[in-house]
């Protein structure tokens, strides 16, 4: 285990050897999984209907006479969507099915604008969540006894405690370091030799960078698996992190409104994230019309919780853009594969008529010679037109005299690969702010200029 993994080792998927914690449910044939989903959906609808008048009124307004009538995709599609503002409008506890003393924990979004969204869990909800994170970790190759260095933020954010409880459920000791104090993170990774790193991908890179500045080669650490999520990231970023840390980088997805991390996770085959269909129903819709999109086509991910007690969410519009694939996976799991979330509807930039996600820009940038993976997109208004400036840091090895040339070259690549003209600026190392959690990729100065 101590040997440095070569990139070839990292690329080769290892067969899942030990059965998962929940192997039987993970490989349940679809003809048995789907009836289970409809039965659980009816229970979930009943829970919402009986305890939250707002749900009952909306379901009745949609023509539903009884939750048992929802037993097919067509019936499901007649139900109304939920959106983030529904939670805000009922701030803080208005959509909970249980009184506060019956809950075990609350989490909340940081809420940069307006009120935070507050989510609640019963003890049973926390246990389900721990199971699903444990299942996700096991599918990604983590095994009981592996030391987990958990650099997701602890607190109201679901990342820290969610990963923590899942690792504990799997039987893994956890270093609950949370985000920040990056030099100490490096020291503890080298001293404690964790096998697993949990962090946002941008923070993983920040750790790698600080290690390199200290002359520490993380490829010689014990790290072998990284569970990265909470923000969009590209394949290029995955390769970059793997090369710098000597681990296999696995994508884990989730959102607090639905649960937290572990709603879906890649397995060792890494061809999509398995969405745990015994606990959630996944749909993809056209974000404009709300109509379902054919399987395999990009659309907005809509999730319905099937077993959540305290806060059932019915057809929740995540704003995340992805594609679904229900074909069986090489690993044997039957649960739907959610392809890498490339961005959110509300992160999409329209630059001179071209739709662009920051992750597309990232895919062009990362790995370009002379450039670091640290970048920001700055939106400004020039007259009536929006303009975008791409600020990307140079690697220390790039002479300052070459910045302008590199900027022109990058501009050309962005134009030819994505079709937008960006004003590219190559900046000195250390200028772009580092994240300790979710990276800020876009600075929107358009209103400031108005």
Among 308, 344, 374, 441, binds ligand DLL (CB under 6 A): 344
Contact in structure between 267 and 248 (CB atoms under 8 Å): no
Nearer to ligand DLL, 260 or 358 (CB): 260
String marking each residue 166-205 x if it binds ligand DLL according to CB under 6 A: ----------------------------------------
Nearer to ligand DLL, 256 or 305 (CB): 256
- Report residue 360: phi and psi, to 5°: -70, -40
Sole window of 77-85, 157-165, 287-295, 380-388 interacting with ligand DLL (rule: CB under 6 A): 157-165
Nearer to ligand DLL, 161 or 190 (CB): 161
C-alpha 300/C-alpha 293 separation (Å) is 9
Nearer to ligand DLL, 55 or 344 (CB): 344
Q: Closest approach of Cβ 406 to ligand DLL, in Å?
A: 28
String marking each residue 287-326 x if it binds ligand DLL according to CB under 6 A: -------------------------------x-x------
Q: Closest approach of Cβ 2 to ligand DLL, in Å?
A: 28
* Footprint (CB under 6 A) of ligand DLL, residues 236-275: 251-256, 260-261
Q: Closest approach of Cβ 233 to ligand DLL, in Å?
A: 6
Sole window of 210-218, 224-232, 236-244, 330-338 interacting with ligand DLL (rule: CB under 6 A): 224-232
CA distance from start to end of the chain: 57
Sole window of 61-69, 227-235, 325-333, 365-373 interacting with ligand DLL (rule: CB under 6 A): 227-235
Sole window of 23-31, 151-159, 236-244, 328-336 interacting with ligand DLL (rule: CB under 6 A): 151-159
Nearer to ligand DLL, 244 or 344 (CB): 344
Q: Does 341 participate in binding ligand DLL (rule CB under 6 A)? A: yes
Token duo for residue 108: 């909340």
Nearer to ligand DLL, 164 or 374 (CB): 164
Residue of this chain nearest to ligand DLL (CB atom): 229
Contact in structure between 55 and 48 (CB atoms under 8 Å): yes
Tell me the site size for ligand DLL, rule CB under 6 A. Answer: 21
Q: Closest approach of Cβ 152 to ligand DLL, in Å?
A: 5
Q: Closest approach of Cβ 241 to ligand DLL, in Å?
A: 13
Token duo for residue 314: 């019915």
Please, how many CA atoms are within 13 Å of residue 136, restricted to the half-sphere of its CB? 37
* Footprint (CB under 6 A) of ligand DLL, residues 14-33: none
Contact in structure between 371 and 392 (CB atoms under 8 Å): yes
Nearer to ligand DLL, 178 or 406 (CB): 178
Q: Does 158 participate in binding ligand DLL (rule CB under 6 A)? A: yes
Nearer to ligand DLL, 141 or 229 (CB): 229
Nearer to ligand DLL, 376 or 406 (CB): 376
Q: Closest approach of Cβ 248 to ligand DLL, in Å?
A: 15
Q: Does 135 participate in binding ligand DLL (rule CB under 6 A)? A: no
Nearer to ligand DLL, 58 or 438 (CB): 438
C-alpha 249/C-alpha 153 separation (Å) is 19
Token duo for residue 378: 């700055």
Helices 201-213 and 182-192 pack at an angle, to 10 degrees, of 80
Q: Closest approach of Cβ 46 to ligand DLL, in Å?
A: 26
* Footprint (CB under 6 A) of ligand DLL, residues 81-120: 109
C-alpha 95/C-alpha 100 separation (Å) is 12
- Residues interacting with ligand DLL, by CB under 6 A? 109, 152, 157-159, 229-232, 251-256, 260-261, 318, 320, 341, 344
């Amino acid at each position: 285990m101590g040997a440095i993994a070569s990139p070839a080792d990292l690329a080769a998927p290892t067969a899942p050897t030990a059965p998962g914690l929940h192997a039987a449910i993970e490989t349940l044939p679809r003809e048995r999984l789907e009836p289970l989903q409809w039965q659980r959906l009816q229970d979930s609808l009943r829970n919402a209907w009986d305890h939250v008048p707002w749900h009952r009124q909306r379901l009745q307004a949609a023509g539903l006479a009884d939750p048992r009538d929802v037993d097919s995709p067509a019936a499901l599609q007649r139900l109304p969507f939920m959106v983030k503002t529904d939670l805000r409008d009922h701030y803080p506890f208005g959509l909970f099915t249980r009184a506060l003393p019956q809950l075990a924990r609350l989490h909340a979004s940081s809420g940069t604008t307006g009120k935070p969204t507050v989510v609640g869990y019963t003890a049973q909800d926390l246990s389900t969540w721990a199971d699903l994170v444990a299942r996700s970790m096991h599918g990604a190759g983590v095994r009981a006894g592996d030391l987990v260095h958990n650099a997701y933020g602890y607190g109201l954010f679901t990342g820290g405690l969610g990963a923590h409880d899942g690792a504990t459920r799997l039987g893994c000791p956890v270093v609950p370091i949370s985000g920040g104090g990056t030099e100490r993170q490096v020291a503890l990774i080298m001293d404690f030799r964790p096998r697993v790193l949990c962090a946002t991908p941008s923070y993983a890179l920040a750790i790698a960078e600080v290690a390199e500045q200290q002359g520490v080669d993380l490829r010689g650490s014990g790290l072998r698996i990284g569970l990265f999520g909470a923000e969009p990231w590209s394949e290029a970023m995955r390769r970059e992190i793997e090369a710098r840390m000597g681990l296999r980088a696995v994508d884990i997805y989730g959102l607090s409104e639905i649960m937290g991390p572990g709603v879906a996770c890649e397995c060792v085959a890494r061809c999509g994230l398995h969405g745990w269909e015994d606990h959630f129903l996944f749909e993809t819709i056209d974000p404009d019309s709300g109509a379902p999109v054919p399987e395999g086509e990009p659309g907005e991910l809509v999730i319905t919780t099937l077993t959540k007690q305290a806060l059932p969410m019915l057809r929740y519009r995540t704003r995340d853009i992805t594609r679904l694939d229900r074909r069986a996976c090489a690993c044997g799991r039957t649960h739907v594969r959610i392809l890498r979330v490339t961005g959110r509807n509300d992160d999409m930039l329209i630059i001179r008529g071209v739709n662009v996600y920051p992750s597309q820009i990232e895919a062009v940038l990362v790995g370009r010679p002379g450039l670091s993976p640290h970048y920001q997109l700055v939106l400004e208004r020039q007259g009536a037109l929006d303009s975008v400036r791409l600020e990307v840091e140079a690697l220390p090895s790039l002479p300052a005299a070459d910045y302008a040339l590199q900027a022109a070259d990058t501009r050309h690549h962005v134009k030819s690969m994505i079709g937008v003209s960006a004003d590219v600026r190559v900046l000195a190392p250390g200028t772009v702010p580092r994240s300790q959690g979710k990276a800020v990729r876009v600075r929107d100065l358009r209103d400031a200029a108005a």
